A and B are shown apart, each in its own frame.
Chain A
Amino acid sequence: MSRSLRLSAFALAAALMAAACGPAGTTVPPASGGPAASAPESSAGGSVAPGPAGSINVLSLWGGSEEKAFQAVLADFTAKTGVTVNYEADRQTYSTTLQSRITGGNPPDIAIIPGIGFLRRFAKDGSLKKISDLGVDTASLTANYPEGFLAAGTVDGELYAIPAKYNNKGTMWYRPDVYKDAGVTTNPSTWADYKAALDATKDKPGAMALGAKDDWNLTDWFESIYIRQAGVDAYDKLFSADGDWTDPTVQKDVDTMLEVINDNYVVGGIDAAVGRAWTDAIAQVFKPAPEAGTFYEGGFVGGIATGQTNTALVIGETIDWYPFPKINNTDEVTTFGGDVVGALTDSDGAKAFLQYVITPEANKVWASTGAIVSPNKGVDTSAYPNDLVKREAESLTSASAIRYDGSDLLPAGIAGEGLGALLQRAIRGDTIDWADFQTRVKAAWDAE
């Protein structure tokens, strides 16, 4: 071994030692010291010692512009109660993080839960605390929330979570300038009108953008069509434990979907769309030089498009939305998506947060950011900062029936291909074996 070799090895070792001693001595705190450290010693149930008074962990999946809006609410909460919040945002691996932390006996005090499937799992295994056990003023709850909304947080007749925000999933986003150039003067209100608008904008510069790599975009399509084509009652049944996926309405829904989601309309073709992220599809429509005129997804597209994709967008000129076209429905019906907030510990901070988040004041702070539509009845539409979200809020209150995003109602533990994966295949022209899916969905319901 040469001397230089030995010397450099020594230098390496020294460097590593220095690196180890330097920060390690002083920085273990970020893990154990910060305001984060309210981890209760034991996990589920029983006498959980509340963490250091005045601080809670909140885990949610909101990052970027959504996080900024929520931080405004958290700041107001801290100002009002003195409880500091350690906020963690995790979209991509949210379920892993939450499940790991619950299994490891280290749950966040408050979790924003994105799907009812999740809610049921954690409610049934006792990880989620019952709202009634947390000292929340139930009178103000029933006064401030429409009854259907509290159902979204209810498992086996017991309330476990409170609706935090919601979005209309019946919003068809489009470029008014593209429509105008193509001669589409009135917004389509029927399925036939809609196809006509796609035909008109086709190649000028393109009809529709689709980012189906995120397969929930496809389940949203499926649900939006289903509630309008098969009806609200059929919708309720399909996404419950009694649902029958072999029912002809299911395949009929897919057939209708394929009338617009095909190589003829989707910019770049179906093949490319299945490999494209949904945010890239938003960009195809709302970047400075658009490639397509229309993009379907929920109300949150507005915030992403104007806040991230292209800050130069002008409402009414280069971005706007109209209601998802009517199919068999005569009344306005729509699906909505939303997140619910629940407590995984019964610490004082967690109780204070839940009590706070149901107040109209908290919801007004949040609504004023323009990022959400509040389910709280105390929030007047004047609380919203722009026309896009104001109209979204109105559309939800004026609709004759609204229903929760169906795929979020399905059990979380379906083995193998989920609905989104099946639809990815369907738009590529595969024939779907609905009987097989029915078997697996049923098994997952039974296993809950």
Chain B
Amino acid sequence: MTAVAEPRASAHERTTSARIVRFLNKTPIHIALGIIAIIWLAPTVGLLVTSFRPRSDIQVTGWWESFLQFRYTLANYGEVLSGQGMLQAFINTFLIAVPSTLIPLVLASMAAYAFSWLHFPFRDGLFLLVVALLMIPVQVAFIPLLKLFAPTGLLNSYGAIWLTHTAFALPFGIFLLRNFFITLPRDLIEAARIDGSSTIGIFRTIVVPLSVPAIAAYGIFQFLWVWNDLLMALVFVQNGKAWPMTKAIQNLLSQYGTEWHLLAAGAFILMAVPLLVFFSLQRYFVQGLLAGSVK
């Protein structure tokens, strides 16, 4: 640890005592950040701790008292996964989320490419329409789409939810990716064109490889969005065997009001994948958030 890590540190601070003084000067900041960290961590930690506590303990004391008792168990997870069908729901969530992420990823990239580098009539007007479509709340889709899907049988499979998630993800994807694509170096693309590359070739060999951060960010957002979705699944997954985890936990919530041990374990299983995605891909997440952002 040297003061180098602190960009504003000047030469005279490079002594131990100066560092201590500097640290002490920042004491209020450390305290404030400590409080913030506790507020933001405590509720989630509480859930995690509760999920490992035996049911009899949860009925009597709060999770914060369990550190003294130190009685933990994996039984809650076992019961939720096997007894409550959470394992099947976990698989179902994947089956819903993966296609609902990949399909819009492909389609939005292609459309965004057209909006940024191809020329066609009413291009700007159509793009504004896409901007406008961003605002449409999913609720407007329920009745018309149920009616639309009725004769197709798609409601009994994953087809309906894949299509609906895809459509509602497109405006955002097109918007995000188009704003990234137009920042790509024009020279590169023109050079490729002069070399005789086709439109599809340029898209495949230049635009997509150069835009991996933005595409990845969009993919992560969409995946988390679908993973965490309850409302669309409620309406568009009409087969009890295909219900995702959010729905399974919702059922747990009502029929076991007192069974906090199952709820906590179930909720944590639901959270595990998004947290994993978040921590392993945090870079893309933040990069994507800032892609084409204020600089």
- A, B: real partners: yes
Could you tell me the dominant secondary structure of chain B's interface residues?
A: helix
Q: Is A103 a contact of B143 with CB atoms below 8 Å?
A: yes
Please indicate the chain B residues that have their CB under 8 angstroms from the CB of A16 in the complex. Answer: 98, 101-102, 219
Q: Is B95 a contact of A9 with CB atoms below 8 Å?
A: no
Q: Is B59 a contact of A283 with CB atoms below 8 Å?
A: yes
CB proximity of B237 to chain A, nearest CB, Å: 8
Please indicate the chain B residues that have their CB under 8 angstroms from the CB of A42 in the complex. Answer: 150-151
Q: Which of B155, B254, B259 contacts A101 (CB 8 A)?
A: B155
The number of residue pairs between A and B whose CB atoms lie closer than 8 Å in the complex comes to 146
Q: Is A9 a contact of B212 with CB atoms below 8 Å?
A: yes
- Report if A280 contacts B (CB, 8 A): yes
Please indicate the chain A residues that have their CB under 8 angstroms from the CB of B247 in the complex. Answer: 93
Determine the distance from Cα of A178 to Cα of B284 in the docked complex, in whole angstroms.
60
CB proximity of A100 to chain B, nearest CB, Å: 5
Determine the distance from Cα of A31 to Cα of B234 in the docked complex, in whole angstroms.
15
* Interface-side segment among B31-39, B132-140, B195-203, B238-246: B238-246
CB proximity of A86 to chain B, nearest CB, Å: 7
Closest 4 CB pairs of A and B: A88-B240, A279-B257, A105-B150, A92-B254
Q: Is A1 a contact of B258 with CB atoms below 8 Å?
A: no
Q: Which residue in chain B gives the minimum CB-CB distance to A18?
A: B98
Please indicate the chain A residues that have their CB under 8 angstroms from the CB of B147 in the complex. Answer: 103-104
Please indicate the chain B residues that have their CB under 8 angstroms from the CB of A91 in the complex. Answer: 251, 254-255
Q: Is B241 a contact of A86 with CB atoms below 8 Å?
A: yes
Q: Is A5 a contact of B157 with CB atoms below 8 Å?
A: no
Determine the distance from Cα of A12 to Cα of B59 in the docked complex, in whole angstroms.
42
Q: B228-267 interface mask toward A, CB cutoff 8 Å, 1 = contact, 0 = none?
A: 0000001110111110000100110111111100000000
- Report if B54 contacts A (CB, 8 A): no
Q: Is A308 a contact of B258 with CB atoms below 8 Å?
A: yes
Q: Is B257 a contact of A280 with CB atoms below 8 Å?
A: yes
CB proximity of A137 to chain B, nearest CB, Å: 30
| Contact (A309, B258) CB under 8 Å given A92-B251, A96-B234 | yes
Q: Which residue in chain B gives the minimum CB-CB distance to A279?
A: B257
Q: Is B99 a contact of A106 with CB atoms below 8 Å?
A: no
Q: For chain A residues 82-114, which have a beta carbon within 8 Å of chain B?
A: 86-93, 96-97, 100-101, 103-106
Q: Could you jot down 25 A-B contacts, CB within 8 Å?
A: A1-B210, A5-B283, A6-B209, A8-B281, A9-B212, A19-B94, A23-B91, A24-B98, A31-B242, A36-B240, A43-B150, A89-B240, A96-B234, A97-B238, A100-B236, A103-B143, A104-B150, A104-B155, A104-B160, A105-B150, A105-B151, A106-B238, A211-B257, A282-B258, A283-B59
Determine the distance from Cα of A5 to Cα of B258 in the docked complex, in whole angstroms.
46
Give the interface centre of A5, A86, A106 by most chain B CB atoms within 10 Å.
A106
- Report if B111 contacts A (CB, 8 A): no
Q: Which of A5, A20, A41, A277 contacts B99 (CB 8 A)?
A: A20
Determine the distance from Cα of A79 to Cα of B215 in the docked complex, in whole angstroms.
54
| Contact (A32, B156) CB under 8 Å given A20-B98, A64-B255, A289-B60 | yes
